[in-house]
């Protein structure tokens, strides 16, 4: 059995961020960390790949520059209902940076290795068993034993299933498609703008259709998709791909000609349990943004909070993690996720068309103020 002080299950943004923040605040811990990743970098990850400003701020604090990763910068973001709504720009910079997760995660893993942190790829975890002395992690390549374990293995990860088998699940559904640039369209989108349209809500799909630029191997493409929180799952609703097909057709694309990929997103709720003694959860394993399903910036933020909790636990030699949820709730990330959860439970269940028109077209100043105070800029409140 291999022994380590800190074992991180999952080599995505949340796990790598946790390791890098531990190295930053407690450098002597770097050699005591092992990250287990079931795939080989660069590995495929279904994700639209939007980096908001908060993500870039967290990376900058780690001394990292996301511009090193192939990307497309979005000039303006549109939040619409049936093609019309509010627009968001950020003075003197891009509003959104779009990356591909295979490239971003491989880059972040390289930076983690350069920081002296060990990553072992191609190892699948089968079971996580905490007890009073530590945590046994059973894998397809033998067993590992650690003082603490961080579950950074995503919405479908095994860590949560092992330590919280009866915990409630709040899961959204997502479909995603990659296409070339605009075809024959009567309503072309601006090439470097991103669009989020909430027109499916009155049909009991509590989410939106998106369309924004991306790149694959340097070639300009567009990423399309639909996100549904499942808040209206008890109501009669169309197949998830129908609104997406409708929006794509409006812009000259035939959905049936492209490969559709889908995945679940576990979203945050205040009642979520995010730790047990000696094991804590980060990233999608703990809960992503309910409104938009945003995950990357949240994952990076979870890493900063978890690292502080782990560092202090080692200093006290006490690993109950009883204060982790309270620390999280008081952080900028915890506050924004609570606000987003509350907003989600307002804007989606009120599915009348007039309300959605009021929200996205008429109440623009109020929406922008609420977003600026409660939804954005949370990274500045993480120390």
| Residue 19 domain flag | yes
Say whether pLDDT at 182 is over 90. no
| Residue 123 domain flag | yes
Tens-place pLDDT, residues 99-157: 999 999 999 999 999 999 999 999 999 999 999 999 999 999 999 999 999 999 999 89
In which band, very low, low, confident or very high, does the pLDDT at 95 lie, cut at 50, 70 and 90?
Answer: very high
Please report the DSSP string for 40-94 in residue order: -SS-------EE-HHHHHHHHHTT--GGGS-EEEESEEEEEETTEEEEE--TTS-
Cβ density class 224-248: b for 16+ within 10 Å, e for less: bbbbbbbbbeeeebeebbebbbebb
Say whether pLDDT at 169 is over 90. no
| Residue 199 domain flag | no
Say whether pLDDT at 184 is over 60. no
In which band, very low, low, confident or very high, does the pLDDT at 65 lie, cut at 50, 70 and 90?
Answer: very high
| Residue 262 domain flag | no
Say whether pLDDT at 183 is over 90. no
The distance from CA 185 to its chain's CA centroid, rounded to whole angstroms, is 32
Based on the structure, what is the number of domains in the chain?
1
Say whether pLDDT at 188 is over 60. no
| Residue 320 domain flag | yes
Q: Domain of 331: which CATH number? A: 3.50.50.60
Which residue range forms the structural domain that includes residue 16? Answer: 2-169+267-381
| Residue 195 domain flag | no
Give Cα separations from 183 to 211, 213, 244, 347 (angstroms).
14, 14, 16, 33
Rounded to whole angstroms, how far apart are CA atoms 115 and 244? 42
| Residue 109 domain flag | yes
Say whether pLDDT at 338 is over 60. yes
| Residue 342 domain flag | yes
* Pairing outcome for strands 76-81 and 219-228: unpaired
């Amino acid at each position: 059995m291999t022994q380590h002080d800190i074992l991180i299950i999952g080599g995505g943004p949340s796990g790598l961020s946790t390791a890098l923040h531990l190295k930053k605040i407690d450098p002597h811990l770097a050699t005591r960390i092992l990250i287990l990743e079931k795939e080989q970098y660069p590995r495929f990850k279904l994700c639209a790949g939007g980096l908001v400003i908060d993500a870039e701020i967290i990376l900058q604090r780690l001394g990292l520059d996301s511009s090193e990763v192939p990307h497309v910068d979005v000039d303006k973001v549109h939040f619409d209902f049936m093609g019309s709504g509010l627009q968001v720009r950020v003075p003197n910079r891009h509003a959104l940076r779009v990356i591909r997760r295979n490239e971003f995660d491989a880059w972040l893993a390289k930076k983690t290795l350069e920081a002296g942190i060990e990553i072992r790829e191609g190892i699948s975890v089968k079971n996580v068993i905490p007890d009073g002395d530590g945590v046994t992690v059973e894998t397809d390549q033998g067993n590992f034993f650690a003082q603490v374990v961080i579950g950074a293995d995503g919405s479908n990860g095994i860590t949560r299933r092992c330590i919280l088998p009866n915990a409630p699940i709040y899961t959204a559904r997502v479909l995603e498609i990659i296409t070339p640039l605009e075809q024959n369209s009567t309503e072309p989108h601006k090439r470097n703008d991103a669009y989020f349209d909430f027109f499916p809500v009155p049909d009991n799909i509590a989410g939106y259709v998106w369309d924004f630029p991306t790149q694959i191997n340097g070639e300009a493409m567009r990423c399309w998709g639909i996100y549904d929180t499942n808040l209206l799952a008890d109501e009669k609703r169309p197949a998830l791909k129908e609104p997406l097909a409708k929006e794509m057709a409006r812009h000259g694309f035939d959905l049936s000609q492209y490969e559709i990929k889908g995945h679940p997103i576990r979203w945050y709720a205040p009642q979520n349990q995010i730790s047990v003694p000696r094991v804590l959860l980060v990233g999608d394993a703990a809960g992503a943004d309910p409104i938009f399903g945003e995950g990357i910036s949240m994952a990076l933020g979870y890493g900063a909070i978890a690292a502080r909790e782990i560092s202090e636990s080692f200093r006290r030699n006490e690993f109950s993690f009883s204060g982790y949820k309270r620390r999280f709730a008081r952080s900028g990330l915890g506050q924004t996720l609570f606000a987003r959860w509350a907003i989600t439970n307002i804007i989606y269940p009120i599915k009348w068309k007039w309300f959605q028109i009021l929200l996205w077209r008429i109440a623009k100043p109020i929406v922008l103020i609420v977003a600026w105070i409660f939804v954005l800029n949370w990274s500045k409140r993480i120390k």
